[in-house]
């Protein structure tokens, strides 16, 4: 007679599944809470503490950690192993049914206390799953309620679970314990000193939804989150069509760009690159004005773009959009008056991102992936140095600092022209830096006169500086460090341009 061990936190589907096992003439061993449910329904079972002769202790923390249990699970299908457990009076266990304490759900509850979270770290359940999965040559392991029916049907048809099914179930169990342990490690991580060697880095993703397709219709795609029950960017979708793969990427780029600014700011993104960035400066808090300026930086690219703001999206912002078609808007909040207007654009997606900002950036490459810290701007202690004969005026310095901060969010090679807290020209993603400078100058036009320029990396030749001078730029910031820095500096000094070096590079590939 075959034996199943059942120990489940979630009792959904338990009684029907156990009844089918009993009708198939299987013995059932059950832990305390599971046994009580089965006994209450009149389903024959043996309580584990009665079987092992060892009571549950420590408030249920220890109940299945016993040789009678793990010997029965780990015994291989050979005469020696089966003889050993028989001599000890242990039964061979053929099926292990376990779900784990809901750690992920508990840790995502903002009201959960640390003691509650710690108690939801399963020990015995993980051990049972790993033992059964390791011995899948003889033992079946069930960790998902969705598999109850198919396993029961195999048992009803042949009295056992087939070899191929056992292997698939084992793979699923190992995936479950891996994800579970990763969730626990992720919760502990902020309280631990990071391993400087970073010899291992685990990723845990929870599938949130399948997407219609990826970047193109022939590519399948899904969105995975790090916490259960949350949407893209860890937030909430308020309205609009289903988000696409490209929408999510653009929203992430726009949201991270606008949250780099301390004052109210607006960012417009198209194809992962900002087409306009504007920040309220001084006493001004006119977010609608900043949004208008961000759009006006490149109104052609703004059509069909994605917008993000780092302050409540209000009536003025909604009115500023007018008839402009945009795909998505991300904001920490949408006022009631704004929603009244935006709700009429039924296809427009509105997203309120979560408050947690990423610490890591992950990029997949052939055969592995890359991890780096998120670039949030210049590191502490970074100091700018005056390189030119003429120092920038206070106004020029203000424009340089804004342009430099905006440059962090622009794809390399990045050139940003800015004036009065707004980008007036952006050149991005070119393999040649001077081409980025030409793009920025072309987009800025007359607005380049008296503006400041920032370059995410040093100038390998003076040609980008010469383009800026011709466009009307009066102040430049770049990291410095080129073997031809002197050539770029000579061009700036000859034109009376203020030039500072930042000592920090902000590549964004």
Residue numbers annotated as active site:
134, 271
- 3-state SS string for 5-26: EEECCCCCCHHHHHHHHHHCCC
**Distance of CA 185 to CAs 104, 119, 120, Å?**
11, 15, 13
Please tell me the distance from the alpha carbon of residue 355 to that of residue 339, in angstroms, as a whole number: 21
- Which tokens in the block code for residue 327? 């795909």
Contact present, 448 and 424 (Cβ < 8 Å): yes
Over the range 49-81, which residues count as b (16 or more CB within 10 Å of their CB) and which as e?
A: bebbebebeeeeeebbebebbbbbbbbeeeeeb
Is the distance from CB of 229 to CB of 108 less than 8 angstroms? Answer: yes
Distance of alpha carbon 492 from alpha carbon 468, whole angstroms:
10
Return the number of other C-beta atoms located less than 10 Å from residue 341's C-beta: 13
In sequence order, the β-bridge partners of residue 46 are 29
Q: Is 118 left (phi over 0), alpha (psi -120 to 50) or beta?
A: alpha
Distance CA 475, CA 465 (A): 10
* CA–CA separation, 278 and 306 (whole Å): 14
Q: Which tokens in the block code for residue 67?
A: 């040789």
* Six-digit token string for 216: 């193109």
Q: Residue 106 CB: number of other CB atoms within 10 A? A: 17
CA 465/CA 271 separation, integer angstroms: 27
């Amino acid at each position: 007679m075959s034996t199943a061990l059942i120990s489940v936190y979630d009792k959904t589907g338990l009684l029907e599944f156990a009844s089918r096992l009993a009708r198939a003439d299987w013995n059932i061993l059950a832990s305390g809470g599971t046994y009580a449910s089965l006994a209450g329904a009149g389903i024959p079972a043996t309580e584990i503490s009665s079987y092992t002769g060892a009571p549950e202790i420590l408030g249920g923390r220890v109940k299945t950690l016993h040789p009678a249990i793990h010997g029965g699970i780990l015994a291989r299908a050979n005469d020696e192993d089966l003889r050993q457990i028989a001599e000890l009076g242990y039964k061979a266990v053929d099926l292990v049914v376990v779900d784990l304490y809901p750690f992920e759900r508990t840790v995502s509850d903002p009201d959960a206390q640390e003691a509650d979270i710690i108690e939801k770290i399963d020990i015995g359940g993980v051990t049972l799953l790993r033992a059964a999965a390791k011995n899948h040559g003889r033992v079946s392991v069930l960790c998902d309620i969705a598999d109850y029916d198919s396993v029961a049907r195999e048992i009803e048809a042949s009295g056992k679970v087939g070899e191929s099914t056992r292997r698939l179930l084992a793979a699923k169990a190992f995936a479950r314990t891996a994800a579970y342990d990763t969730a626990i490690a992720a919760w502990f991580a902020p309280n631990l000193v990071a391993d400087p060697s970073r010899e291992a880095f685990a990723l845990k993703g929870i599938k949130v939804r399948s997407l219609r397709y990826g970047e193109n219709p022939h590519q399948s795609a899904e969105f995975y989150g790090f916490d259960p029950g949350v949407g893209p960017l860890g937030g909430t979708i308020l309205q609009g069509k289903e988000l696409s793969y490209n929408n999510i990427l653009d929203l992430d780029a726009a949201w991270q760009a606008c949250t780099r600014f301390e004052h109210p700011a607006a960012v417009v993104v198209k194809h992962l690159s900002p087409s306009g960035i504007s920040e309220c400066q001084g006493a001004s808090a006119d977010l609608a004005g900043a949004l208008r300026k961000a759009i006006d930086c490149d109104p052609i690219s703004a059509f069909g773009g994605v917008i993000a703001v780092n302050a409540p999206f209000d009536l003025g912002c909604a009115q500023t959009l007018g008839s402009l078609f945009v795909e998505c808007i991300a904001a920490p909040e949408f006022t009631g008056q704004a929603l009244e207007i935006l709700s009429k654009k039924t296809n427009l997606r509105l997203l309120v991102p979560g408050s947690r900002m990423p610490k890591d950036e992950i990029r997949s490459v052939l055969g592995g992936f890359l991890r780096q810290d998120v670039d949030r701007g210049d590191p502490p202690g970074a100091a700018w140095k005056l390189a030119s004969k003429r120092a920038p005026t206070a106004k020029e310095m203000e424009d340089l600092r804004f342009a430099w901060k905006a440059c962090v969010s622009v794809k390399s090679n990045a050139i940003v022209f800015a004036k009065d807290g707004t980008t007036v020209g952006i050149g991005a993603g070119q393999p040649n830096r001077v081409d980025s400078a030409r793009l920025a100058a072309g987009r800025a036009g007359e607005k380049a006169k008296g503006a400041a320029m920032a370059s995410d990396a040093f100038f390998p030749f003076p040609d980008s500086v010469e383009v800026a001078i011709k466009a009307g730029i009066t102040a430049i910031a770049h990291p410095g460090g080129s073997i031809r820095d002197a050539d770029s500096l000579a061009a700036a000094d000859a034109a009376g341009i203020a030039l500072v070096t930042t000592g920090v590079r902000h590549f964004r590939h």
